[in-house]
Structure 1
């Protein structure tokens, strides 16, 4: 009998049922930005002030940077510490969709912005001190952290750091503006919700195997990191939103989602903010179903864009006994 050099993945023998259910969820909600009619938002775009247009461009530039980190660095690092072969397959799916997310912002730029404006957006993104600080902080953990620290960084990015940017399109959607741009963001949020809960679940499996003393050391590190990231995010938020008067509302949204990140990791919330404290227009934007549910019909009736469902507290959390 020949020795085994490489083992084939067998989806009929599942070591962890969460791997299979997550794979099915992610493939079920597959989408591409090319199927969303962004040009239908041009009239709304022209109605915005120049200050708002610049803010929107910078917001999406920042989101592009974070998704680039996840697709180029984050998932590669997480795949070094998988528990099952099926987990690696799920992370491959996540990595591809993070690339789809990053590309989606460029589709928005090419629809709404001139070439000169796009160049300015990426110049701003690639030199902004607060964006670069959080990129460096997260990426250094990916490169040098332990397996569990990398998962914490990933969940913080997916469930917390994106939301200073997500606030803007959700706010406009709640005010009946830029619905197709917001459609893309809601699809991204739906993906990130699954990514965050899945990676948080994998974190909890490893965390619960640690001795109590090591758990406490890691927990202290987690909360210290969150404080540091939040402090930087406050400055970033002020820079983006202070002039148009949204900064404090965005910070509330950030604290709410920071708590969600901790819940994904099986930890207690840190901030007092709840869904009731978040601007109801933004929460309504999250909970509104997708309006473009039939755009995939052009490539066959079996290829439909799934409904964007309302996000509930338990969407963020998988309990581990």
Structure 2
């Protein structure tokens, strides 16, 4: 007998978090074409060659990671969807990761020449540290268990992106490249929801494991974080040593590694807290976005998810 194809019914929701997340993501939909990036050209032209090189590599690296997430990461998670609504949310996330990757090309086309853009992408294809972190994450996507894939995704969304996010947030704090930073803040807002949602789905599966299985999963998670952190600090040093920002970026990374762990329901690993992060950077995260109010509430402001180990009720409150 031919299997009956099942239509998705949004009037019968098994997990209300799926519906809340879908609505949140739709509410904050945006496109890069609405941001006036050309207004940043005067700031760009005043930067040193070292700064321009750093920014180009930062956005090249972010492009590669968003490409990985949109082409392989979310697709690997969809295979384990528990409901049709969960799969629909992943479809939304997958599209926005493609939007993020495209937005960096919009920045490149505004600030860089064609030959410079070609050089940036050549660099992303050959830099060993950037390629290593992509390979580590993708190996989990291709070969890991359902929960391991969710851990890798949360680490990518809530930790690895932040070595790149640091630079535009710092320039924003000094009133430079404000439109470029506007795109980063919109991306940050998306990634906050993505990391929270996937972390929540991880916790559902984790709580169904036996005690020994949970301990094994925790150990695997912290081992993966150590491996990624070691490589990420080498990558950070490569990007930022020449302009003296490496130590500050490292603090920001450790803070966000802790947030990633909390998204998964685990205890923080590093001693770094929000108080240790450069206040200019924290202000850039929490300050409202500019007045690009082109869809409903898009651009009206946000606070990157202050997500602890959250229960269902906490998650509902965060989205209200």
The answer (yes or no) to whether the contact 1:205–1:320 under 8 Å persists in 2 is: no
The answer (yes or no) to whether the contact 1:79–1:88 under 8 Å persists in 2 is: yes
Q: Which residue of 2 aligns with 1:319?
A: 311
- Offset of residue 306 of structure 1: 3.7
- Offset of residue 214 of structure 1: 0.4
User: CA offsets per residue over residues 83-124 of structure 1, 9 Å max, x none?
Assistant: 111000000000000000000000000000001110111111
- Offset of residue 286 of structure 1: 1.1
Distance 1:203 1:286 in 2: 25
Using a 3 Å threshold, how does the CA distance of structure 1 residues 162 and 272 change in structure 2: closer, same or farther?
same
**Structure 2 residue 39 is the aligned partner of structure 1 residue 47:** no
Alignment TM-score, normalising by the size of structure 1: 0.95
- Offset of residue 155 of structure 1: 0.1
The answer (yes or no) to whether the contact 1:55–1:240 under 8 Å persists in 2 is: yes
Q: Which residue of 2 aligns with 1:299?
A: none
Distance 1:52 1:119 in 2: 18
Distance 2:299 2:88 in 1: 22
Q: Which residue of 2 aligns with 1:73?
A: 72
Aligned residue-pair number: 313
Q: Which residue of 2 aligns with 1:191?
A: 190
Alignment TM-score, normalising by the size of structure 2: 0.95
User: CA offsets per residue over residues 36-59 of structure 1, 9 Å max, x none?
Assistant: 000000000011001100000000
Distance 2:225 2:177 in 1: 32
For structure 1, the residue ranges without an aligned partner over 5 or more in a row are 297-301
**Structure 2 residue 138 is the aligned partner of structure 1 residue 139:** yes
Distance 2:68 2:218 in 1: 24
**Structure 2 residue 240 is the aligned partner of structure 1 residue 209:** no
- Offset of residue 289 of structure 1: 1.1
The answer (yes or no) to whether the contact 1:186–1:308 under 8 Å persists in 2 is: no
The answer (yes or no) to whether the contact 1:36–1:292 under 8 Å persists in 2 is: no
Distance 2:301 2:135 in 1: 32
Cα RMSD over matched residues?
Answer: 1.4
Distance 1:219 1:269 in 2: 12
Q: Which residue of 1 aligns with 2:223?
A: 224
- Offset of residue 312 of structure 1: 5.2
Q: Which residue of 1 aligns with 2:256?
A: 257
The answer (yes or no) to whether the contact 2:100–2:187 under 8 Å persists in 1 is: yes
